[in-house]
Chains A and B, each alone.
Chain A
């Protein structure tokens, strides 16, 4: 009888001592686990997932050729006759008699491509600049502090230039094309990423574990790469997701201004929006489809970004 009790006690002690609750695993894994329970993250992930899926398989599943003016004779511009949704054309026809549904689906790929490439450019270049500045300022001594100051003042100047102006200059330099849009939008994001990563790295550089690494004798380069950087990336990754949303909108704006793909036949949401402008009073649906597409996609990325920000937030982490 007593031995059974003792066994029960042992079991209890063992259970409490070896219990590994939700707090296990690396911080990244924990963040993902938290995100799985967030309705915001779920909604964002579903939207983004659908968008990416459409972008990837779009050209194969689109019912018609997005550039073919198959129904050109059914559209009468001067009488404002644009056939609306019907069984063979779910979203109706555009001003040249092309199938809007197919154009939307195929356009998704261009939009995603622009967003991802532009963000990638901004992320890599910005993170590099910010990282170098932070590393120089932290470990470069007085000379390094000067390097950091020069870099960051340049970044501040760049930040002060309006994005559109910057983009227009880039476009003037390279000529209108999809590549121009990507570079223009990407370049405009560089200062944001640079500042963000630098700030995040400086905060980490003053933490105790970095001091501990110095005390151990870890070489400076290794401290930056293996200690400071991995702990600084969280906010930058969140920002990248949020920037993807703005990049999509900005790319659309540039295409709308005619700086995008000069091929008038190409399906791209921004160009579609620009084209629809002329017929806004007669056929607002032509503008609504790409506009809703852009808004929903941007919203999806924003939701995902916000959910990531929340799940990476150290203050919330501690409360669990």
Chain B
């Protein structure tokens, strides 16, 4: 540890700044994802393995996030949203498609280059306890990102750790403590602090509050808001809870069975949902108001999610859609712009 070279306190990745001229035209576009696919092979056989099919976890998803913005990706379990988030960060190998962060093509990177580049994109996990090494105390947890990227001396790293702890609302005195000594909300603060240590551009938050108690969820959501302003962060928030996503995001995409079905500004999508699935989702979320609950009309979807290994032909949602017609089984609806900035994949204008 003491033999560690001490570099000046400048995050290393900042020195290899991408040529801004290319990025400058789309000056505010930070993340650009084009037609991303992640297919997992289904292998059978014990002696000789052969691939008998593919689970199309993510099947052609494209989206862009402006610098300083928040994109919320909603969908139910099994829709591929978590896989998408991980593929963007190259924690899962994409089968096809491109991911560009700040003009650099993440999907083309390999080995050491990718490892260094990881300092610009970080992740906050759903399970705050499971994502923290139980045998590392807070000091180790927070200084590790700096250490592996060769940032600062031991004292400088500690100073930065204390600053970051302060930013997430934890006192300096917790440095020697271990993850299991904290409450759920505090652990999630630690997870966020770790993601912040390298001062990344993009943070992918995968279900950042769903494991927490209601009263703690609000604390963490407010914290994410504050940190975005303080550190100029860009978020990709992945969640199943529409209210959480709406609260955090400026733009929302709805995923179903590996594909985006609708995307719009968060205000618009909740006020005028255009895809039947979005409508059903919105109508299913229970609201903490008995008056609203008593008077609203629910779209109760029939059946369950089809298998992503063998998705339905045409429109993937047609098996559960109350409005489905013959065309839906034959032709896959195109991803079209229904109104200014409001995209939807449905044959009909609902």
Residues of A at the B interface (CB closer than 8 Å) are: 20, 23-28, 207-209, 211-219, 222, 227, 230-231, 317
Contacts and interface: CB of A to CB of B under 8 A. Distances in A.
Nearest to B13: A217
Contact of A216 (B118, B127, B137, B177): B118
B239 to A, nearest CB: 17
B130 interface: yes
Contacts of B148: 216-219, 222
B91 A23 contact: no
Contacts of B118: 215-217
B123 A212 contact: yes
Contact of B115 (A208, A219, A231, A317): A219
Given A24-B181, A217-B145, 4 more contacts: A20-B181, A27-B180, A215-B91, A231-B133
23 contacts: A23-B181, A24-B181, A207-B130, A208-B127, A211-B123, A211-B131, A212-B123, A212-B131, A212-B132, A212-B191, A212-B194, A213-B133, A213-B144, A215-B91, A215-B122, A216-B148, A217-B115, A217-B117, A217-B119, A231-B133, A231-B134, A231-B135, A317-B180
A25 B133 contact: no
Given A218-B144, A219-B148, A212 B125 contact: yes
Contacts of A230: 135
Contacts of B115: 217, 219
Contacts of B127: 208
Given A208-B130, A211-B91, A217-B149, A26 B135 contact: yes
A144 B325 CA distance: 50
Contacts of B194: 212, 216
Contacts of A217: 115-119, 145, 148-149
B89 interface: yes
A138 to B, nearest CB: 14
Contact of B135 (A20, A27, A208, A219): A27
Interface residues of B, number: 30
B131 A26 contact: no
A23 B135 contact: no
B40 interface: no
Contact of A209 (B91, B116, B133, B149): B133
Nearest to A204: B133
Contacts of A218: 144, 148
Interface string B41-74: 0000000000000000000000000000000000
A281 to B, nearest CB: 54
Contacts of B134: 27, 209, 231
B178 interface: yes
A214 B89 CA distance: 10
A213 to B, nearest CB: 7
A25 B191 CA distance: 20
Max count, chain A CB within 10 A of own CB: residue among B123, B135, B145, B177: B135
A215 B181 contact: no
A212 B125 CA distance: 8
Interface in B120-153: 122-123, 125, 127, 130-135, 137, 144-145, 148-149
A158 to B, nearest CB: 20
A219 B115 CA distance: 7
Contacts of A207: 130
A213 B180 CA distance: 18
A209 B122 CA distance: 13
Nearest to A320: B180
Contacts of A25: 178
Contacts of B133: 209, 213, 227, 231
Nearest to B119: A217
A1 to B, nearest CB: 32
Give the residue among B117, B133, B134, B149 with the most A Cβ atoms within 10 A. B133
Interface string B171-203: 000000110110000000001001000100000
Contact of A214 (B91, B144, B178, B180): B91
A317 B194 CA distance: 25
B106 to A, nearest CB: 13
A25 B117 CA distance: 35
A200 to B, nearest CB: 14
Contacts of B135: 26-28, 230-231
B76 to A, nearest CB: 21
A27 B178 CA distance: 9
B181 A209 contact: no
Contacts of B89: 215
Count chain B CB atoms within 10 A of each CB in A208, A212, A219 and give the residue with the most: A212
Q: Which of A211, A214, A216 has the most CB of B within 10 A?
A: A216
A208 to B, nearest CB: 4
